[in-house]
Amino acid sequence: MEKRNLGNSNLKVSSIGLGCMGMSYGYGPASDKKEMISLIHEAIDRGITFFDTAEVYGPYINEELVGEALAPFKREVAIATKFGIQIQNGKQVLESKPERIRQSVEGSLKRLQVETIDLYYQHRVDPSVPIEEVAGVIQDLIKEGKIKHWGLSEAGVETIRRAHSVQPLTAIQSEYSMMWRSPEKELLPTLEELGIGFVPFSPLGKGFLTGTIKKDTTFGGSDFRRVVPRFKPENIEANQVLVDLVKEMAIEKDATPAQIALAWVLAQKPWIVPIPGTRKLNRLEENLGATDIVLRPEELNNLNDALSKIEISGDRYPAEYANRVNK
């Protein structure tokens, strides 16, 4: 598989990574551990070298899964994980005090079974801790050899600039897809200017762009899409116009809607590495097929023109979570 550098850094990874969260957390009950380890090994066999997890996924069990699965392949792959969200009384709490970051990194190193973390993100910006202070702790951890690169998730551009001025950032992770193009306004130009890579999560719109979600689709109690406004039946129905557009291009390119959605993300910039998640081998293979699809400039222009005329219904987060992004 083609590899890409994340920005100006020397972190080179497969052009598509694997988001591992859903194997343990967020999309219903956790899957069988042995099956997920097998899936991660299948991903490696097919050229994936970039795996994404976080301390809070579970919490802890997703890092343990990824650590066990990747233990035999430490020198062949890059692992990204995250700090900064704790579960207290069943709720997510932002926590990036220096002592908490140090506790988190030690826990992640142990669970991932590594001596150094390839890419360490602040999961969400903690408004109670200046980003310069966070960057200073990260700088110390890099000097100590505990992490190699760092990044921010869902941060605003001014925070990115402030953090980058203290300790250069390797990557920013945020949602980006045909369904959520907001990063194009300020984020992508800023990253290009500063030489920072971009790692889009939910490049398939949390599954919507696969074309398999209809207005009568139901989500279980532990599937977080159950509380996402975008996935209310009326919004699912209203947004089918986007799926229809993707399906039309898929027919033209002899591809699947998911492959078109991923190929579109890959075509935006050479320093973008999307991390679609899955629990199924056939979906993994389908996603990787996107790397073989070439969208010609006129096709990309036509898609972007059509996308600009579609208004997406429903917010991507409930209010509680929406307040934590672009800080």
Q: Of 27, 57, 121, 176, which residue is the catalytic one?
A: 57
Q: What is residue 32's three-state secondary structure? A: coil
Q: CB neighbours of 16 closer than 8 A, spacing ≥ 6?
A: 1, 48, 50, 262, 266, 273, 274, 275, 276, 287, 288, 290, 291
Burial degree of 85 (CB within 10 A; 0-12, 13-18, 19+): buried
For residue 152, the surrounding DSSP H or E stretch is strand 147-153
- 292's tokens: 């073989």
Residue closest to 107 by CA, chosen among 88, 126, 90, 120? 120
Instruction: At 119, give phi and psi (nearest 5°).
Output: -145, 120
Whose structure tokens read 């960057």?
Answer: 135
**Half-sphere exposure for 307 (CA within 13 Å, toward CB):** 19
Whose structure tokens read 């890092």?
Answer: 63
C-alpha 114/C-alpha 21 separation (Å) is 19
CA angle 152, 91, 157 (to 5 degrees): 20
Neighbour count for residue 29 (Cβ, 10 Å): 10
Whose structure tokens read 């972190």?
Answer: 11
Pairing type for strands 18-19 and 197-201 reads unpaired
Is 57 annotated in the active site?
yes
CA 304, 310, 314, 319 torsion: positive or negative?
Answer: positive
**Long-range CB contacts (within 8 A, 24+) of 185-193:** 186/157, 187/157, 187/160, 188/268, 188/269, 190/157, 190/160, 190/161, 191/7, 191/160, 191/271, 192/269, 192/271
Q: Active-site residue numbers?
A: 57
